[in-house]
């Protein structure tokens, strides 16, 4: 009995206490389930995972308790576990050898780079599992930026040309969804044209259309090894956290350019943006429960301030209530197990 967040209904007055007792429908578990307005299932989750070179390599991410960088062989096994839990897709993020990082991010377009090798291995083992690939240069750039820097400024059009090449090698490897997270102007149309010209008309694009210059990305940058290299900040291309209407313009432009799905990032501090996007455009809308959100939750659990299982599931249900159709979350496998085991 999920409600459609895109449909507004008139407010009605149905009576008053004592005839109306709102707690009647909360009394028993079966009625609470019967009248629940939103549902959370494993179908709503995407598991973001970090891949590193090597074999049997497992590296803990200190700022993200419970999250690991995995070599391709271990990642293939972990992806299979996610699939068995009913999770439809995984999203790949590489931790690249610093020796392969250059100012022009050239390793991003190498068909034999870490991401492409991981995609091929996962697809061979689990052909029915969806794979989402990040398109941005920050894991490959020696300066930690999402694009190419010229005179301490990330240049737009030159970056877009590289992103198109990056998207094509990922599609050639077997990626199902190209997910540009760079926030360059015009990159969705350019990537769509590039994919189509290369024969990948069916490869989908999930645009990080409303990605904010947020303070909540720090642990992710630790995980992919870009944080220490980052020179300056990303405020000239990621969105100002003060802005809401601007997100609607960004989404509208990306949809016009051919995006199939839209991402809002970060997640819980931006539930209002998710709601506005869903109500305005009624398109598949995804949310990213980012590394800082995950780290805060797990730190509170570690200190005994929150119940882990309840907080994990409630935080994800909040995204569904706001209108998100799917959620990228580092708790995906954990949440899927909790829902499976009741």
Q: What does the pLDDT read at residue 15?
A: 86
Q: Tell me the pLDDT tens digit for each residue of 164-192.
A: 999 999 999 999 999 999 999 999 999 99
First-residue to last-residue Cα distance in the chain: 20
Predicted confidence (pLDDT) per residue in 70-107, tens digit: 999 999 999 999 999 999 999 999 999 999 999 999 99
Dihedral angle of Cα 181, 183, 186, 191, to the nearest 10 degrees: -10
Closest CA to 167 of 209, 122, 199, 214: 199
88 contacts: CB under 8 Å, gap ≥ 6: 42, 43, 45, 46, 129, 130
Q: Higher pLDDT residue, 86 or 227?
A: 86
Average pLDDT value over all residues in the chain = 94
The β-bridge relationship of strands 149-150 and 153-154 is antiparallel
**Per-residue pLDDT averaged across 130-137, rounded?**
97
Average pLDDT over residues 232-260: 97
**Domain count of the fold of the chain:** 1
Residues 6+ apart with CB under 8 A from 166: 108, 109, 135, 137
Mean pLDDT of the 23-48 span: 96
Whether 194 is covered by a domain: the verdict is yes
- Flag whether pLDDT at 1 surpasses 80: no
DSSP for 243-283 reads -SHHHHHHHHHHHHHT-SEEEEES-GGGHHHHHHHHHHH-S
* Percent of the chain topping pLDDT 90: 90
Over range 13-35, report the average pLDDT.
91
User: Predicted confidence band at 9 (pLDDT cuts at 50, 70, 90)?
Assistant: low
* Contact of 254 with 284, CB cutoff 8 Å: no
Which residue among the candidates 83, 265, 278, 298 is catalytic per the annotation? Answer: 265
Please indicate, yes or no, if residue 259 is contained in any of the structural domains: yes
In this structure, of 139-153, 193-207, 226-240, 318-332, the range with the lowest mean pLDDT score is 226-240
Which residues belong to the annotated binding site?
A: 250
Identify the pLDDT of residue 101.
Answer: 93
Q: Is residue 32 part of a domain?
A: no
In this prediction, residue 43 carries a pLDDT of 98
Confidence of residue 2 (pLDDT cuts 50, 70, 90): very low
Active site residue 211: yes
**Looking at 123, 211, 298, 333, which residue is catalytic?**
211
Region of 183 please: left (phi>0), alpha (psi -120 to 50) or beta: left
In a domain, 126, yes or no: yes
Q: What is the mean pLDDT of residues 115-120?
A: 98
Residue 293 in any domain: the answer is yes
pLDDT over 70, % of the chain? 96
152 located within any domain: yes
| 4 lies in some domain | no
Full domain range(s) for residue 282: 38-341
Q: Which residues are annotated as a binding site for Mg(2+)?
A: 250
Query: Is 29 inside a domain boundary?
Result: no
Residue 7 has pLDDT above 60, yes or no: no
Global confidence as pTM: 0.93
User: Helix, strand, or coil here: 105?
Assistant: coil
DSSP calls for 138-196: TTTBTT--SS-EETTEE-HHHHHHHHHHHHHHHHHHT-SEEEE-S--TTHHHHHHHHHH
Whether 234 is catalytic is no
For residue 107, the domain's CATH number is 3.20.20.70
What are 61-71's pLDDT values in tens digits? 999 999 999 99
């Amino acid at each position: 009995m999920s409600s459609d967040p895109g449909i507004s209904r008139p407010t009605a007055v149905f009576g008053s206490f004592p005839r109306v007792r709102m707690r009647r429908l909360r009394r028993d578990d079966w009625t609470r389930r019967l009248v629940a307005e939103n549902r959370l299932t494993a179908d709503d989750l995407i598991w973001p995972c970090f891949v590193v070179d090597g074999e049997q390599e497992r590296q803990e991410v200190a700022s993200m308790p419970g999250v690991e960088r995995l070599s391709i062989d271990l990642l293939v096994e972990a992806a299979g576990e996610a699939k068995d839990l009913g999770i439809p897709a995984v999203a790949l993020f590489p931790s690249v050898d610093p020796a392969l990082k250059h100012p022009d991010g050239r390793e991003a377009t190498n068909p034999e780079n870490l991401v492409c090798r991981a995609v091929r291995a996962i697809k061979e083992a689990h052909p029915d599992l969806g794979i989402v690939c990040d398109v941005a240069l920050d894991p490959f750039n020696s300066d930690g930026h999402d694009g190419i820097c010229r005179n301490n400024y990330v240049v737009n059009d030159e970056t877009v040309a590289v992103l198109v090449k990056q998207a094509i090698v990922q599609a050639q490897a077997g990626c199902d969804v190209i997910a540009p997270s760079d926030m360059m102007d015009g990159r969705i149309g350019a990537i769509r044209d590039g994919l189509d010209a290369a024969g990948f008309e069916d490869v989908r694009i999930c645009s990080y259309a409303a990605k904010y210059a947020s303070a909540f990305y720090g642990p992710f940058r630790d995980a992919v090894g870009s944080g220490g290299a980052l020179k300056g900040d990303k405020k000239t291309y990621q969105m100002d956290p003060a802005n809401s209407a601007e997100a609607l313009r960004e989404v509208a432009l990306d949809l016009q350019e051919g995006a199939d799905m839209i991402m809002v990032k970060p997640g819980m501090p931006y539930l209002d943006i998710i709601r506005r996007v869903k109500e305005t455009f009624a398109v598949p809308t995804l949310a990213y429960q980012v590394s800082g959100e995950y780290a805060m939750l797990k730190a509170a659990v570690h200190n005994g301030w929150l119940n882990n299982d309840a907080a994990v599931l409630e935080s994800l249900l909040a995204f569904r209530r706001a209108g998100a159709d799917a959620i990228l979350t580092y708790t995906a496998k954990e949440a899927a197990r909790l829902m499976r085991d009741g």
